[in-house]
Structure 1
Amino acid sequence: MALLTCNFFSETLVINTSMTVILPQDTNNQIGMKNNLNEGKFKTLYLLHGYSDDHTIWTRRTSIERYVAETGIAVVMPQVDHSFYADMVYGKKYWTFISEELPRIARSFFPLSDKREDNFVAGLSMGGYGAFKWALRKPDMFAAAASLSGVLDLANREEVANQDDPIVKSLYHVYGNNKINNTEEDLFYLIKNLKEKNIELPKLYQACGTEDFLFEGNKEFKAHTDELGIETQTTFDPGTHEWGYWDDHIQRVLKWLPL
């Protein structure tokens, strides 16, 4: 595998930014690489970070480079600050960046497939929310999406908007006084809307530890998908909001992906 830090200019953000990229290498030990080429281009996992992290965190806290070596897929890990993968009211347009500019730039630099069946997205915590939001707002882009300990009930957290909490303050920078409920920032609304319109959904994988502070929101999302008759691969098992849990579950996600 090749591990690269790619520094580049974003016209959307109007700033230099970075992404960490893992690319398969054509060696005798890289068994899965040739199996996961489509017209000479790699299948790709976009792997998203959480609230307190950046584009380097998955390689620093897990063995993601070693895990994907068996699959032969590329991994793109972008940097999005505290944006919740949104076009911020008081900040930068990270939704436009992540959903439009980033894939275009990454594919211009590296041989990455643009076919739906070759693209996947996953993330943890804020990134779990981002992964599902990206997949549900762009269902024609991804074959599968995975959320690990995701903030899936973000729209239901609006009632704490006046609390003196750094995450709540960040949410104000992201959304201002705009409501999240029943908008394209609301995962419950997005998935119901796709179901009602009979639009094909990506495969969904959801995991959360039963001791995680986000567990109740994950249970509510699972109940919502069950009520809509949408099948999800769901694991609720012992664990908290920490890297041991995510290191274990990203391996499960890689085995689950439809490669």
Structure 2
Amino acid sequence: MALLQVNAFSNVLEMEVMLDVILPQETKKTFGTSTKGTTEDVAVLYLLHGMNGNHSVWQRRTAIERYVSDKGLAVIMPSTDLGWYTDTTYDMKYWTFIAEELPNICHELFPQLTKKRAKTFAAGLSMGGYGAVKLGLKKPENFAAIASLSGGLTIAEGINQLLEIRSKAYWEGIFGPLEEIKGSENDLIHLIETLDGSQAPKFYLTCGTEDLIYQASAYTTKKMRENGYDVVFEDGPGEHDWLFWDDWIQRVLNWLPL
């Protein structure tokens, strides 16, 4: 595999952005991990970070590069600050960046990446789980499979829990008035109930049974099943931490239709 650290300019955010990129490269090693290489139509996973992370955190806290070494899969890990993959009220359009501009940047810089829906995926943890599911719901034409690990998926139902994490000013900077989140385009449950589940990608949701936001994944799964989505929900012992995510990202990779 090749690991690239990319600094690129975002016209949407009007600033430099950073992303780590894992690209398949054929290697044959006497010691270590040999890897499978491919140079065209490469499957791609957009892997999103949570609130405390950035573009480098998956690399530093898991062995993601080793986990994808034999899969012929590119992994795009962008930094999106604390923007919740949303076009914020303070005029930082993180949703537009992640959903529209970032794929264009990646295809410009790495033309070997696939443009086929069947080979394009997104996943993320916590805030990134929210972002990944949002991509699957609002951009179903672009993704074949979506995975959320310990996702913050029910923000409209959990306002009090949000306020235990950060101040009201922070959340309203992201989403606007808190009482207006429910029923908005940032309310995933509302999207699930109003969009056509038969046209959506496949979803895989997981969360640790000791995680304080476990019910968010369980409730989202229930709503998806009620509305005709193709969704798998699996849980296991674990909290909201990297011990759980390092283990379960491997299961996500095995679930992807590669």
TM-score, length of structure 2 as denominator length: 0.92
Q: CA deviation at 1:168?
A: 4.5
Q: Deviations over 1:198-240 (max 9, x none)?
A: 6411010000011101111222112212322433111121110
Q: Which residue of 1 aligns with 2:31?
A: none
In structure 1, give the amino acid aligned to 2:185: E
Q: Deviations over 1:77-104 (max 9, x none)?
A: 0011111100010241100100111000
Given the alignment of the two structures, is residue 232 of structure 1 paired with residue 231 of structure 2, yes or no? yes
Alpha-carbon distance in 1 for matches of 2:168, 2:117: 35
Given the alignment of the two structures, is residue 15 of structure 1 paired with residue 20 of structure 2, yes or no? no
Shift of the 168–51 alpha-carbon distance from structure 1 to 2, 3 Å rule, reads farther
Structure 1 residues 46-61: aligned runs within 5 Å: 46-61=46-61
For structure 2, which runs of at least 5 residues remain unmatched after alignment?
29-33
Structure 1 residues 107-186: aligned runs within 5 Å: 107-110=107-110, 111-158=112-159, 163=163, 165-166=165-166, 168-177=168-177, 179-186=180-187
Q: CA deviation at 1:165?
A: 4.3
Whether the 8 Å CA contact 2:198–2:228 is kept in 1: the answer is: no
SS of residue in 2 equivalent to 1:66: helix
Q: Which residue of 1 aligns with 2:94?
A: 94
In structure 2, give the amino acid aligned to 1:209: G
Alpha-carbon distance in 1 for matches of 2:174, 2:64: 29
Q: Deviations over 1:115-163 (max 9, x none)?
A: 10110000000000000001110000000000000001111123567x4
Shift of the 242–159 alpha-carbon distance from structure 1 to 2, 3 Å rule, reads closer
Shift of the 108–210 alpha-carbon distance from structure 1 to 2, 3 Å rule, reads same
Q: Which residue of 2 aligns with 1:212?
A: 211
Alpha-carbon distance in 2 for matches of 1:10, 1:216: 36
Q: Which residue of 2 aligns with 1:30?
A: 35
Alpha-carbon distance in 1 for matches of 2:170, 2:257: 35
Alpha-carbon distance in 2 for matches of 1:27, 1:249: 26
- Higher deviation after alignment, 43-52 or 225-234: 225-234
Whether the 8 Å CA contact 1:126–1:150 is kept in 2: the answer is: yes
CA RMSD for the aligned pairs? 1.7
Whether the 8 Å CA contact 2:124–2:147 is kept in 1: the answer is: yes
Equivalent residues, number: 251
In structure 2, give the amino acid aligned to 1:87: D
